């Protein structure tokens, strides 16, 4: 289950609608290319079929993803616990360094910030989800285990 905001779900649904609209035009493009004659040497036909296959995969992925998401009501999110959309200051117990993270769905399209974004499905995001201030979590990363303590929930 992937947690997303209502805006993220709308973005996914919009992408699906666009892909479905493109699918109709790709079917027309294949039909036009087929009408040109010999299909073995028809580059337009093969390119259109390849584009349609790519678009069909995208439609399937979006449909599958929409069945696996749970929209969280941002007004009902706890303020004393790390949850989707929360900005938290964490301390790396190994180095003592502190950083600010924002827990986002994997759909975030935001730009440059004074914090790092971690998705709710990443190892750090999963470890921080539903953790309260003062709690230390262990995160297994490719470069080894890190112990992170939630110092403050900023917002």
> What would the mean pLDDT of 119-141 be, rounded to a whole number?
87
The two beta strands, 144-153 and 136-141, are antiparallel
| Domains along the chain with CATH numbers | 2-69 (1.10.287.180), 74-153 (3.10.50.30)
pLDDT at 108 over 70: no
Helix (H) or strand (E) holding 126: helix 123-128
Average pLDDT, the chain: 84
Tens digit of each residue's pLDDT (9 = 90 or more) over 6-60? 777 888 899 999 999 999 999 998 888 888 877 777 788 888 889 999 999 999 9
CA dihedral of residues 114, 118, 119, 125 (deg, nearest 10):
-140
135, two tokens:
């709690």
Q: Return the closest-CA partner of residue 86 out of 110, 112, 105, 114.
A: 105
Confidence tier at 125 by pLDDT (50, 70, 90): confident
Q: Return the closest-CA partner of residue 115 out of 81, 153, 75.
A: 153
DSSP code per residue over 14-42: HHHHHHHHHHHHHHHHHHHHHTTS-STT-
Those residues whose C-beta lies under 8 Å from the C-beta of residue 132, and which sit 6 or more positions away, are 80, 81, 82, 150
Assessment of whether the complete model's pTM goes beyond 0.75: no
8, two tokens:
């993220």
């Amino acid at each position: 289950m992937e947690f997303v905001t209502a805006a993220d779900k709308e973005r996914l649904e919009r992408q699906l609608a666009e892909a479905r609209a493109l699918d109709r035009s790709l079917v027309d493009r294949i039909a036009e290319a087929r009408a040109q004659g010999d299909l073995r040497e028809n580059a337009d036909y093969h390119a259109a079929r390849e584009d349609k296959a790519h678009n069909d995969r995208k439609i399937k992925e979006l449909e599958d993803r929409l069945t696996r998401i749970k929209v969280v009501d941002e007004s009902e999110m706890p303020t004393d616990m790390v949850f989707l959309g929360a900005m938290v200051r964490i301390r790396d117990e190994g180095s003592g360094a502190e950083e600010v993270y924002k827990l986002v769905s994997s759909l975030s399209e935001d730009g440059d910030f004074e914090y790092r974004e971690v998705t709710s499905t990443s190892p750090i995001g999963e470890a921080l989800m539903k953790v309260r201030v003062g709690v230390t979590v262990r995160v297994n990363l490719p470069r080894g285990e890190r112990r992170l303590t939630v110092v403050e929930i900023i917002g």
